[in-house]
Amino acid sequence: MALRQPESMDECVYFTQRSLDNGKGSVKVWVFKQTCPKCKKAIMGKPRDSKGKVKTRASEYVCPGCGHSAEKKAYEDSLAANAEYTCPACGSRGEAQIPYKRKNIEGIPTLRFQCARCHASIDVTKKMKEKKGKGGNKGFEGEDV
């Protein structure tokens, strides 16, 4: 399938590279920005303020060419997430492409890819989120609080 790799972060809405299961596997995920559906010339991006700085918490994406805007959720749901992975279960390398829609898995927004060989789930959670453990809250060094 040979997915196209991003040449710079300016092409991407989302990019991450992580190790999985204590180094048994790894995953690199990226989501390309789309061209404007109206003028089909410029690439959609978040709006910029008067100084030219990107508004990080913007609720819309804007075309710098024609000014067309799209709601953030609708725009991001139309994108595709690309992944290059090494499966932590079977060790095989592969590529996958899924819709860029995070699903709530164990209470955490997650992108879930399937290994092409063994069909194991490869989960990419939002940064700094951890799955809820089965033993209540854990304090410092795993002590029950």
Q: Give the C-alpha separation, 133 to 107, whole Å.
A: 11
pLDDT at 136: 46
Q: Give the C-alpha separation, 27 to 130, whole Å.
A: 17
Q: Structure pTM?
A: 0.79
**By mean pLDDT, which of 21-25, 63-67, 107-111, 132-136 is the weakest?**
132-136
Residues 79-133 have pLDDT tens digits of 999 999 999 999 999 999 999 999 998 889 999 999 999 999 999 998 766 666 5
pLDDT at 32: 95
pLDDT at 65: 87
Q: Give the C-alpha separation, 122 to 130, whole Å.
A: 14
Where do the structural domains in the chain lie, given as residue ranges? 16-32+79-130, 34-78
Tell me the average pLDDT across 14-21: 91
